[in-house]
Amino acid sequence: MKQPLKPVMFVGTCSDAGKSVINAAFCRIFKQDGFNPAPFKAQNMSLNSYSTPEGGEMGRAQVVQAEACGIAPHTDMNPVLLKPTNDKNSQVVLNGRPVGNMSAKDYFGLKNDKEALFAEAIAAFRRLESRYNPIVLEGAGSISELNLRDRDITNMRMAQAAGAATFLVADIDRGGVFGSVYGTIQLLKPEERALMKGIIINKFRGDSSLFEEGKQMLEELTGIPVVGIIPYFQDIKIEEEDSVALDMKNNSYQEGKINVAIVLLKRMSNFTDFDVLEMDPRFNAYYTNQIDELEMADIILLPGSKNTLADLQHLRAKGLADAIMRERKKGKRIVGICGGYQMMGARLEDPLGIEGNLPAVPGLGLLPQLTVIGSEKVTEQSCFAFLPARQGKLSESDFINKGYEIHMGETRLLGDAPESALIELENGRKDGYLLDENCWGSYMHGILDNPDVLDFLAAGLEKEPVTLSFDYVAFKEEQYDKLADRVRRHSDMKTIYEALLPNAEG
What does the pLDDT read at residue 393?
85
pLDDT of residue 113: 64
Residue type, 214: G
Q: Which of 27, 69, 74, 338 is catalytic?
A: 338
Cis peptide before 368 (omega within 30 of 0): no
- Tell me the C-alpha distance between 96 and 75, whole Å: 6
Distance in angstroms (rounded) separating the CA atoms of residues 322 and 325: 5
pLDDT recorded at residue 230: 96
Residue 490 a catalytic site member: no
Superfamily of segment(s) 8-44+63-71+111-237+478-499: P-loop containing nucleotide triphosphate hydrolases (3.40.50.300)
3-state DSSP call for residue 363?
coil
From residue 237, how far is each of 234, 275, 476, 499 by CA, in Å? 7, 9, 8, 29
What is the predicted pLDDT for the residue at 104? 58
Assess whether the region 8-44+63-71+111-237+478-499 and the region 257-458 belong to the same CATH fold. Answer: yes
C-alpha 240/C-alpha 225 separation (Å) is 28
Identify each DSSP E strand in 241-368 by its residue range: 258-263, 268-269, 283-288, 299-302, 304-305, 333-337, 347-349, 360-362
Nearest alpha carbon to residue 80 among 157, 153, 19, 185: 153
pLDDT digits (tens, 9 = 90+) for 270-299: 989 999 999 999 999 999 999 999 999 999
Those residues whose C-beta lies under 8 Å from the C-beta of residue 417, and which sit 6 or more positions away, are 368, 369
Q: Kindly report the pTM of this predicted structure.
A: 0.86
User: Residues 156-182: pLDDT tens digits?
Assistant: 999 999 999 999 999 999 999 999 999
Residues in the chain: 506
Count the Cβ atoms, other than its own, within 10 Å of residue 220.
8
- Which CATH superfamily includes the segment(s) 257-458? Class I glutamine amidotransferase (GATase) domain (3.40.50.880)
- Residue 74 is a catalytic residue: no
Whether the CB-CB separation of 464 and 404 falls below 8 Å is answered with no
Would you kindly state where each structural domain of the chain is located, as residue ranges?
8-44+63-71+111-237+478-499, 257-458
The list of the chain residues with pLDDT below 50 reads none
Instruction: Supply the pLDDT for residue 58.
Output: 95
Phi-psi region of 124 (alpha: psi -120 to 50; beta: other; left: phi over 0): alpha
The pLDDT assigned to 375 comes to 86
